[in-house]
Amino acid sequence: MNGPDQLHAPILCSDCGIYQLCLPTGIGQADIELLDKIVKNRRIFKRGEYLYRLGHPFHSVYALRSGSVKTYVLMDDGRVQITGFHIAGELLGLNAVNTRVYSCEARALETTSVCEIPFDRLEELGQQVPSLQYQMLRVMSQEIAYNQELMLLLGKKNADERLATYLIGLSSRFAKRSYSSTEFNLSMSRSDIGNYLGMAEETVCRVLARFEQEGLISMQRRLVRLKDIEKLTAVAQGGGKAESPSPAVGKRPQSPVSSRNKQVG
Amino acid sequence: MNGPDQLHAPILCSDCGIYQLCLPTGIGQADIELLDKIVKNRRIFKRGEYLYRLGHPFHSVYALRSGSVKTYVLMDDGRVQITGFHIAGELLGLNAVNTRVYSCEARALETTSVCEIPFDRLEELGQQVPSLQYQMLRVMSQEIAYNQELMLLLGKKNADERLATYLIGLSSRFAKRSYSSTEFNLSMSRSDIGNYLGMAEETVCRVLARFEQEGLISMQRRLVRLKDIEKLTAVAQGGGKAESPSPAVGKRPQSPVSSRNKQVG
DNA sequence: CGACCTGTTGAGCAGCCTCAACATAAGTGG
DNA sequence: CCACTTATGTTGAGGCTGCTCAACAGGTCG
């Protein structure tokens, strides 16, 4: 995690707020007005409704104004991997540019307000406003970096590290939107969290229960309070247990960092 | 997997070949010449050398002319997640656009020839050639879709499915480059494959050995021959074992597709 | 208030990791 | 060219993390 929006705190543009597409200095007022004309298309999605579905033709991108959305990919037999959890200020759907067909589904986790932006309009405008083009590249670049972190989590972290990473990541994202970074509402169910972090729902419960018992957090249903962010951060990076004598050995999780993993190209 | 380059077979542009940046109809001859001026910068990397490293400043993107490259992210304690395996015709480095700093490392797996393209030059040119901008979006969009598949693999597939998916994915990528789709050289070590698929090196060996024993493939060291692509494809999608009576039940791997996973937003 | 959805907790099992020894290939230097 | 060293791949035994199955508790909603 560490997640999206690494460097640039998304800035509201005018009334609708295209957030990630606008930079403080990147786009002028006149351009913003142009942009506003395009994005007037506001929509509300209720919990469980789809912004777009797998295989549907690509026509628009979506800027989230409020609420939250999960995106996920599917296997034939119904297995689900949630690939993203998106909150206000983020931009969805650009990943369908290549094939012109959505490669994943996006579904509202709660009542969610979005701006729907027709991509061809956005493209036209991009040719008049170079910095807009650049912003699109940035948004996608950011998503790639974000996905890389998730892959690291899925491939190399154990259950404790995954959940700690998840909580810390949420915390810092909320902080950037000026929400509380220590107390917030997970809009995802335990099952969703499991499908996001690559673990069973039950394991999510158990680990959270242990975190609470160890004084790292407190929870009631989907409301979390982070009580020891420092220790949580340590857990997320694999320094969770062992303040043990042996500093290098006993890292515990998969990937032993043994002499073999020297990675020689 | 199914991997990159879904729809557009990358086309060589002039002598250097910017592959993914060019479409048959997208970019005119004059533009290609412009592009060529920029990408004259050819370089050779030997096995183990870095195209770029974590935290280094972003200045260029790299188009692979021949050879292969792995990209990966790191944890503090040395754990590694390989996030991409790239072959001739693919474009690397665009994921650093956002932060202007590389968020991963790229390392040659064998002697590899690349075109190094200064990004600011590419951007300038993009403003004159709109379709080039669009191509960049496409390349990144494609990478995102590709990463989503990898996340699905890492989060939801068991060892057999992972390796089958990996082999099938390689096969179809080689096919698109007009290499043999049934016999090819894995340029990654077992350890790399493990760090890519999120499993231990030993497990990679064991599963490959079993695949060979079951007549799906034959291997000697890094040379693979796919002997039953159909069955391999079935395994990749989780239909590997059970041609069992019960069609829906007994899916076997993590994520039971039980009644609970109904995913209700 | 009953039906249902979500979350919690327990018991048992198994897939995959860890550790370790060995085999083979690939370099390296004399 | 061969002996040595190192990297890479293979195979076995055993244990642990996290999954599965299952029953139940607490909320939520009609």
Domains in chain A with CATH codes: 6-153 (2.60.120.10), 157-236 (1.10.10.10)
Residue B29 pLDDT greater than 80, yes or no: no
User: Between chains, do B75 and A49 touch, taking CB under 8 Å as contact?
Assistant: no
Q: Is B257 on the interface with A (CB under 8 A)?
A: yes
Predicted confidence at residue A9, as pLDDT, reads 33
User: Between chains, do A147 and B152 touch, taking CB under 8 Å as contact?
Assistant: no
- pLDDT tens digits along B119-158: 988 888 888 888 888 888 999 999 999 999 999 999 999 9
User: How do the pLDDT tens digits run along chain A, 265 residues long?
Assistant: 343 433 333 333 443 445 555 544 455 566 666 666 666 688 999 999 999 999 999 999 999 988 999 999 999 988 999 999 999 888 999 999 999 999 999 999 999 999 898 998 888 888 888 888 888 899 999 999 999 999 999 999 999 999 999 999 999 998 888 788 899 999 899 999 999 999 999 999 999 999 999 999 999 889 999 999 999 999 999 876 544 433 333 334 443 333 333 344 4
Question: What is the residue whose two structure tokens read 């499915």?
Answer: B161
Interhelix angle B119-128/B29-38, rounded to 10 degrees, is 160
Please provide residue A24's backbone torsions phi and psi, each rounded to the nearest 5 degrees.
-50, -50
| Distance, CA of A168 to CA of A182 (rounded, Å) | 9
Q: Which residues of B touch A203 (CB under 8 A)?
A: none
| Distance, CA of A176 to CA of B66 (rounded, Å) | 42
Predicted confidence at residue A39, as pLDDT, reads 64
How many Å apart are B211 CA and C14 C1'?
20
| Distance, CA of A204 to CA of A173 (rounded, Å) | 21
- pLDDT tens digits along B141-200: 999 999 999 999 999 999 999 999 999 999 999 898 878 889 999 999 999 999 999 999
Predicted confidence at residue A250, as pLDDT, reads 33
| Distance, CA of A85 to CA of A87 (rounded, Å) | 7
User: Between chains, do B83 and A265 touch, taking CB under 8 Å as contact?
Assistant: no
Predicted confidence at residue A37, as pLDDT, reads 64
Residue B249 pLDDT greater than 60, yes or no: no
Q: Which helix (H) or strand (E) holds B218?
A: strand B217-220
User: Alpha carbon of B135 to those of A58, A96, B22, B130: distances in Å?
Assistant: 16, 13, 7, 9
User: Alpha carbon of B143 to those of A127, B24, B82, B137, B150: distances in Å?
Assistant: 23, 20, 14, 10, 10
Global confidence as pTM: 0.84
Predicted confidence at residue B159, as pLDDT, reads 96
Whose C1' is closest to the CA of A197: which nucleotide?
D18
Contacts of A7 (CB under 8 A, 6+ apart): B98, B99
Whose C1' is closest to the CA of A205: which nucleotide?
C8
Q: Give the closest-approach CA distance of B176 to chain A in angstroms.
A: 16
Between B140, B200, B253, which is nearest A140 by CB? B140
Q: Give the closest-approach CA distance of A255 to chain B in angstroms.
A: 6
| Distance, CA of B200 to CA of A256 (rounded, Å) | 9
Q: Per-residue DSSP letters for B28-81? A: -HHHHHHHHHHTT-EEEE-TT-EEE-TTPBP-EEEEEEESEEEEEEE-TTS-EE
Question: What is the residue whose two structure tokens read 């500093």?
Answer: A247
